[in-house]
């Protein structure tokens, strides 16, 4: 009897390897949910995106564009920012799935990795970060600092960084690689539900947030959350994409609308694996009207912050990087006492769930 039980256990442990060690069961958010209706009086809708994804054009990733689009569609992602290492694709949408493809590039420079988006062509002088960032800017593109604290690829700041307006404050690949011991401990759970197992490795990115607040004290810099997915035999797109997303509030999911919203900081970072964040809204209202995330307004006596989250959650308001007000709520309206840079951190079960971009009250 004991021998039979041991044989059964061995067979069960062997099974994953017979299937190439891919997870046996996967649970996904499912096909794309209907988009939430625009907020009253607002033409903006919430589009869920996978920011910073590699394909077979990168030396360290497999995965075709077709596989990427099918996986994105299966897990409810509306757009993908493809950013292969020093290589660039050209098509802008996938006709079969309808997933919008935004084509960026992840450049390896002398100061670290930069993701370019919205420019027109590949820049050959990519080692010199200052020349590269200037060239991207001259074509109307955005330069985004990728994983600012990733070992040898940590970003080394210079005095001339004004053209860098965006920062990856969270990067899934870094979270996993930095905690490889915990990742191995989770291996048995990984075989059952890979996405859930990896969600335990997601932490509040404290160092990145401190860096961001320091930059925000000087100028507007917007936050993005990168899944930095590399399709490999042990972690495919369907596992990685739902873990960490960047949501964009735009009028449509056409490439130009999405890039324009990202440029203006009208987006937020979402750890969707802890619950769908569709419907999250954050704005400031006063005598001048409504200001969305990334925007700027002038303080008056009527200035209020308004938040709507899709489920009860702990909402922390930060003013100039410092905790300023706290509430557990689904809807919240808070008078603002004066100028400041106001951003939100929303927690669910004590885990960071949503990170807003700031609104600048002058
Ligand atoms: Zn990188
Ligand atoms: Zn990357």
The CATH number that applies at residue 326 is 2.60.40.10
Number of domain units in the chain: 2
Q: Find the ligand nearest to 152 CA.
A: 1
Q: Find the ligand nearest to 53 CA.
A: 2
Question: Could you tell me the distance, in angstroms and rounded to a whole number, from the CA of residue 147 to the centre of ligand 1?
Answer: 7
> Which residue segment(s) compose the domain that 128 sits in?
38-276
Low-confidence residues in the chain, pLDDT < 70: 1-41, 91-92, 159-160, 187
What pLDDT is attached to residue 136? 94
**Are 138 and 254 in a shared domain?**
yes
Question: Could you tell me the distance, in angstroms and rounded to a whole number, from the CA of residue 166 to the centre of ligand 1?
Answer: 15
**Are 271 and 300 in a shared domain?**
no
Question: Could you tell me the distance, in angstroms and rounded to a whole number, from the CA of residue 176 to the centre of ligand 1?
Answer: 14
Q: Find the ligand nearest to 112 CA.
A: 1
Residue 263 falls inside a structural domain: yes
**Are 188 and 46 in a shared domain?**
yes
Residue 25 falls inside a structural domain: no
Q: What is the pTM of this model?
A: 0.88
**Are 254 and 283 in a shared domain?**
no
Question: Could you tell me the distance, in angstroms and rounded to a whole number, from the CA of residue 327 to the centre of ligand 2?
Answer: 36
Question: Could you tell me the distance, in angstroms and rounded to a whole number, from the CA of residue 148 to the centre of ligand 1?
Answer: 9
Question: Could you tell me the distance, in angstroms and rounded to a whole number, from the CA of residue 110 to the centre of ligand 1?
Answer: 13
What pLDDT is attached to residue 40? 63
**Are 272 and 284 in a shared domain?**
no
**Are 126 and 255 in a shared domain?**
yes
Question: Could you tell me the distance, in angstroms and rounded to a whole number, from the CA of residue 79 to the centre of ligand 1?
Answer: 20
Question: Could you tell me the distance, in angstroms and rounded to a whole number, from the CA of residue 50 to the centre of ligand 2?
Answer: 12
Residue 22 falls inside a structural domain: no
**Are 127 and 157 in a shared domain?**
yes
Please say which residue of 230, 249, 276 terminates a domain.
276
Question: Could you tell me the distance, in angstroms and rounded to a whole number, from the CA of residue 53 to the centre of ligand 2?
Answer: 7
Question: Could you tell me the distance, in angstroms and rounded to a whole number, from the CA of residue 91 to the centre of ligand 2?
Answer: 20
Q: Find the ligand nearest to 84 CA.
A: 2
Question: Could you tell me the distance, in angstroms and rounded to a whole number, from the CA of residue 108 to the centre of ligand 1?
Answer: 7
Question: Could you tell me the distance, in angstroms and rounded to a whole number, from the CA of residue 228 to the centre of ligand 2?
Answer: 5
Residue 242 falls inside a structural domain: yes
Nearest-CA neighbor of 119 among 141, 135, 134? 141
Q: Find the ligand nearest to 240 CA.
A: 2
Question: Could you tell me the distance, in angstroms and rounded to a whole number, from the CA of residue 178 to the centre of ligand 1?
Answer: 14
Question: Could you tell me the distance, in angstroms and rounded to a whole number, from the CA of residue 58 to the centre of ligand 1?
Answer: 11
Question: Could you tell me the distance, in angstroms and rounded to a whole number, from the CA of residue 318 to the centre of ligand 1?
Answer: 29
Residue 323 falls inside a structural domain: yes
Q: Find the ligand nearest to 149 CA.
A: 1
**Are 53 and 166 in a shared domain?**
yes
Residue 17 falls inside a structural domain: no
Question: Could you tell me the distance, in angstroms and rounded to a whole number, from the CA of residue 115 to the centre of ligand 2?
Answer: 8
Please say which residue of 215, 244, 276 terminates a domain.
276
Q: Find the ligand nearest to 52 CA.
A: 2
């Amino acid at each position: 009897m004991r021998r039979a039980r041991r044989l059964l256990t061995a067979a069960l442990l062997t099974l994953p390897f017979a299937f190439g060690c891919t997870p046996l069961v996967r649970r996904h958010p499912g096909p794309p949910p209907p988009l939430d209706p625009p907020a009253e009086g607002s033409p903006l809708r919430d589009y869920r995106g996978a920011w910073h994804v590699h394909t077979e054009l990168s030396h360290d990733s497999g995965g075709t564009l077709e596989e990427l689009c099918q996986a994105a569609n299966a897990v409810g992602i509306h757009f993908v920012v493809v950013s292969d290492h020093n290589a660039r694709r050209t098509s802008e949408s996938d006709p079969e799935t309808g997933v919008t493809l935004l084509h960026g590039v992840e450049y390896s420079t002398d100061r670290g990795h930069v993701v370019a988006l919205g420019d027109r062509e590949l820049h050959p002088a990519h080692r010199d970060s200052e020349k590269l960032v200037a060239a991207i800017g001259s074509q109307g593109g955005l330069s985004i600092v990728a994983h600012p604290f990733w070992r040898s690829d940590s970003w080394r700041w210079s005095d001339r960084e004004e053209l860098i307006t965006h920062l990856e404050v969270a990067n899934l690949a870094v979270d996993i690689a930095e905690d490889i011991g915990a990742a191995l401990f989770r291996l048995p759970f990984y075989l059952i539900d890979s996405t859930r197992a990896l969600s335990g490795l997601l932490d509040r990115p404290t160092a990145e947030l401190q860096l961001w607040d320091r930059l925000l004290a000087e100028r507007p810099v917007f936050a993005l959350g990168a899944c930095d997915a590399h399709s490999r035999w042990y972690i495919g797109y369907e596992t990685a994409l739902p873990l960490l997303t960047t949501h964009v509030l735009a009028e449509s999911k056409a490439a130009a609308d999405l890039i324009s919203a990202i440029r203006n900081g009208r987006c937020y970072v979402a750890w969707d694996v802890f619950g769908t964040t569709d419907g999250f809204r954050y704005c400031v209202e006063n005598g001048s009207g409504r200001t969305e995330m990334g925007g700027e307004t002038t303080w008056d006596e009527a200035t209020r912050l308004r938040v709507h989250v899709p489920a009860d959650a702990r909402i922390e308001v930060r003013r100039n990087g410092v905790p300023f007000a706290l509430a557990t709520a689904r809807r919240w309206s808070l008078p603002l006492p004066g100028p400041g840079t106001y951003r939100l951190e929303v927690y669910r079960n004590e885990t960071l769930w949503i990170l807003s971009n700031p609104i600048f009250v002058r």
